[in-house]
Amino acid sequence: MKKQSFRLPDGLAVYLGLFLLLAAGLFAACWPQGDFIDAERRYRASAPAAPSLTNWKSDKEIESYLSDRIPFRRALVGLDAAVNVYTGRRTQLETWPVQGVFLERPLTGDAAALRRRLTQLDEAAQKADAPWRLIVPTGHGYLRRAEMNPLLQAQYEAEAPLYAALAETPQYIPLGAAFTADNAYYATDHHWTLQGVYTAYQAYCSAAGLEPLALEAFELERFEGFRGTTYSRSGYLFAGAETIMTAEPAGDVRLTVLDDGAVYDQLIFPDRAATYDGYAVYLDGNHGLLEITNAAAPEGTLLVFKDSFANSLLPLLSAHYGRIIAMDARYYAGNFSDAMAAAGEVDQVLYVYSMDSLMNDTMVARKLSR
Q: Is 358 left (phi over 0), alpha (psi -120 to 50) or beta?
A: alpha
Single out the residue of 169, 135, 180 nearest to residue 350, CA to CA. Answer: 135
CB 354 within 8 A of CB 139: yes
Query: What number is the average pLDDT over the span 39-52?
Result: 66
Q: What angle do CA 101, 43, 361 make, to 5 degrees?
A: 60
Name the strand (E) or helix (H) holding 52.
none
pTM: 0.80
Q: In which band, very low, low, confident or very high, does the pLDDT at 313 lie, cut at 50, 70 and 90?
A: very high
Q: Counting every residue, how long is the chain?
A: 370
Beta carbons within 8 Å of 358's beta carbon, 6+ residues apart: 114, 117, 136, 364
HSE (side-chain half, CA atoms, 13 Å) at 95: 26
HSE (side-chain half, CA atoms, 13 Å) at 345: 2
Hey, what amino acid is at 126? Answer: Q
Q: What angle do CA 12, 14, 15 make, to 5 degrees?
A: 65
Measured between alpha carbons, how far is 26 from 71 in angstroms, rounded to an integer?
Answer: 11
Single out the residue of 150, 232, 189, 207 nearest to residue 352, CA to CA. Answer: 207
**370 vs 211, residue with greater confidence:** 211
Per-residue model confidence as pLDDT tens digits over 162-221: 999 999 999 999 999 999 999 999 988 999 999 999 999 999 999 999 999 999 999 999
Q: What is the pLDDT of residue 277?
A: 81
Per-residue model confidence as pLDDT tens digits over 315-336: 999 999 999 999 999 999 999 9
